Structure 1
Amino acid sequence: MDYISALASSGTSFLAAGGGPSIYTQMFGSALIGLREGLETGIVVMVLVAFVVKTDRRDALKWIWAGVGAAIAMTLVVFLVIHFGTSTMTPLAAETIAGVASLVAVGIVTFMVLWMSEASSHISADLKSGMSKALLAGGASVLGLAFLAVGREGFETALLMVGYAESVSGGLWPLLGLVVGILAAIVLTVLIYRGAIRMNLSVFFTYTGLFLIVVAAGILTYGIRALQTVGWLPGLGNIAFDVSGTYDASSWYGTVLGGIFNVRPDPTVLQVLVWIVYVVVVTAIFFRRQRAGRRAVAQRTRTPDESPAPAEPTPERNPQ
């Protein structure tokens, strides 16, 4: 089989004919990712900063910002190395790497989304506890805590963006959209910190978590299609349905749905099955872990001594 011909005819390569998604679509999807991930990261930083300010340890702020800066640099390096590393490869090799990278990104992002679904209810308390210990250990420990707390979110963002950027184009527009989203998240974080706006973080993490699940499902189907194209997975010619006659992929809604969620008018059977299974299973686990996190918080807030009250002592009799 001529894989190069299949690559060109399938339309799934990031070098696909027709120009691919519009600049607006590429930026819009990545901006949403940047907004969600940036606001999540901003909340983490906000908790750390607020804690050291309230405990009158402003001297630790420089270590927090150093850790944040290091985590941001790490995120950019991971994204650029993986994303632009494919530009020096042949189309077949680049498609293979893009497909594998998409599957790896989905795996790690899924883990992080499920972790956050349970941890979001008590992450503030965990961060404050960790910062208390780090302050006692010294500046390097504070820097390390900030780096790990922000780097965890940043690494998730980098991998998610690799999968997204590979699925829409090979240029800089997705990265620019990510920056726009992050800047918007910074503004929102500052407003939240100063009390200008209020946000129900539990609701925020729930809806954005569900959004990320759908985005990851689209990236997963992109990876499946890419690996079908290069022959690693079967079923490239087994089309589940084709609505090209009624669904205009070049329209505004087609470019938005295609750019953000990888919706295409002619998915394969394997793509449809994988998408359904992923969304159903991960969403069910997401809500189950969220309920478990809330139960854990409820148990923490109970009075520490729930043992039966001791019997009242018998009053001593006055000696006669």
Structure 2
Amino acid sequence: MTLLLAEEFIAEGAPSVVTQMVGSGLLGVREGLEAGIVVMVLIAFAVKSDRRDALKWIWLGVAAALALLVGTFLIIQFGSSTISSLAAELLAGIASFVAVAIVTFMVLWMRKAAMQMSGHLKEGLTGALAVGGAAVFALSFFAVGREGFETALLMVGYAESVSGGAWPLLGLLLGILVAVLLTWLLYKGAIAINFQKFFTYTGYFLIVVAAGILAYGVRALQVYGWLPGLHNTAFDISSWYDQSAWYGVIGQGIFNFRPEPTVLQVIAWVGYLVIVGGLFYMRGKTPTAPKAVDVAVKEPA
């Protein structure tokens, strides 16, 4: 496996690989830290309730959720290699649209409902502790697995758009490891993060990434024939825009920018940014937004 990755690293070029890993790594940090907050709340409440016996079931649920993330990504991403290229375009397009839909819902929902997340988790864990270990495992699995499934679908669309093979997944896993470290340091009180700003900025980042994945999905379905306008190019700057240069690698690897997008791709990209970005901004202006994540994070202190 290591030899294969090394050969792929040389074949694709270090800058391209690094860019793919950075983009997916940022997704891993953001989504991993969000899941880490959930785990922190569950662990802190179990400890404060003098139910340390439930910790193993919480961790088992977390491990199963991580397995779901990796398994979903591998099945969808690498399972498509056994089908025709045209069918792969259809699968990639559908996966991209599903990923964008789920990420959009979760980003907007988290922006508004995170303030009640801690209370809901504690209430759910109280009931699960009364039932037994299996219930605690299920609560942990579904609480973290929701984030994992969202991340897996998002990564499918991202990895398809950059055509990076295993590198986006490796970057994602490294990002999750960073999120685990940050979560542990937060739990121990070693560091402090302004979560309102962190989730606001990364929320906007996810929206831009999702817009790129949506544009990629539009083109995939245009190639397959489900959407019109494949040859209706909005603009073409490929004469001077070098996709192999550092800026081209970053634009393609993280934001899925093409120098010759179709009109429908541009409409989808701009429309998504304006509508979802506007909704995200407006939901952040509500009175409950400033305390949204702090409530969940203060629990372990």
Confirm or deny a common fold (TM above 0.5): yes
Max Rg structure: 1
TM-superposed deviation, 1:272: 0.7
Distance 1:244 1:296 in 2: 44
Structure 2: stretches of 5+ with no match in the other structure: 1-10, 296-301
Residue of structure 1 in register with 2:89 after alignment: 95
296 and 177 in structure 1: CA distance in 2 versus 1, 3 angstrom threshold: closer
1:118–1:293 Cα contact (<8 Å) kept? no
Specify the code of the residue in structure 1 equivalent to 2:240. T
Structure 1: stretches of 5+ with no match in the other structure: 1-17, 302-320
1:28–1:177 Cα contact (<8 Å) kept? yes
Residue of structure 1 in register with 2:135 after alignment: 141
Specify the code of the residue in structure 2 equivalent to 1:236. L
SS at match of 1:263: coil
Q: In percent, how many aligned pairs have the same letter? A: 64
Residue of structure 1 in register with 2:63 after alignment: 69
101 and 133 in structure 1: CA distance in 2 versus 1, 3 angstrom threshold: same
Is 1:274 the counterpart of 2:271? The answer is: no
Residues 228-271 of structure 1 show CA distances to partners (whole Å, capped at 9, x for unaligned) of: 12222111111111122332211112111211110111111111
What TM-score results when the alignment is normalised by the length of structure 2? Answer: 0.88
Richer in helix (by share): 2
Specify the code of the residue in structure 2 equivalent to 1:269. V
Distance 1:241 1:294 in 2: 43
Residue of structure 2 in register with 1:315 after alignment: none
Distance 1:198 1:280 in 2: 32
Is 1:111 the counterpart of 2:105? The answer is: yes
2:213–2:256 Cα contact (<8 Å) kept? yes
Residue of structure 2 in register with 1:223 after alignment: 217
TM-superposed deviation, 1:125: 2.3
Aligned residues: 282
Distance 1:295 1:38 in 2: 21
Partner of residue 247 from structure 2, selected from 253, 261, 279 = 253
Is 1:174 the counterpart of 2:155? The answer is: no
297 and 42 in structure 1: CA distance in 2 versus 1, 3 angstrom threshold: closer
Is 1:50 the counterpart of 2:44? The answer is: yes
Which range moved further: 253-262 or 131-140?
131-140
Distance 2:289 2:69 in 1: 33
Residue of structure 1 in register with 2:258 after alignment: 264
Residues 15-54 of structure 1 show CA distances to partners (whole Å, capped at 9, x for unaligned) of: xxx9698211221111111111111111111111111112
Which range moved further: 18-27 or 149-158?
18-27
Residue of structure 1 in register with 2:148 after alignment: 154
1:120–1:205 Cα contact (<8 Å) kept? no
Specify the code of the residue in structure 1 equivalent to 2:264. L
Partner of residue 29 from structure 1, selected from 23, 43, 63 = 23
TM-superposed deviation, 1:197: 0.6
What TM-score results when the alignment is normalised by the length of structure 1? Answer: 0.83
Alignment of 1:236-251 (within 5 A): 236-251=230-245
TM-superposed deviation, 1:293: 7.2
Partner of residue 183 from structure 1, selected from 177, 182, 186 = 177
SS at match of 1:36: helix
Residue of structure 1 in register with 2:226 after alignment: 232
Which range moved further: 211-220 or 21-30?
21-30
1:41–1:153 Cα contact (<8 Å) kept? yes
Specify the code of the residue in structure 2 equivalent to 1:108. I
TM-superposed deviation, 1:291: 4.1
TM-superposed deviation, 1:292: 4.6
64 and 97 in structure 1: CA distance in 2 versus 1, 3 angstrom threshold: same
Residues 55-86 of structure 1 show CA distances to partners (whole Å, capped at 9, x for unaligned) of: 22111101101111111111111111111111
Residues 110-168 of structure 1 show CA distances to partners (whole Å, capped at 9, x for unaligned) of: 11111111122231222122222222222222111111110000000000000001111
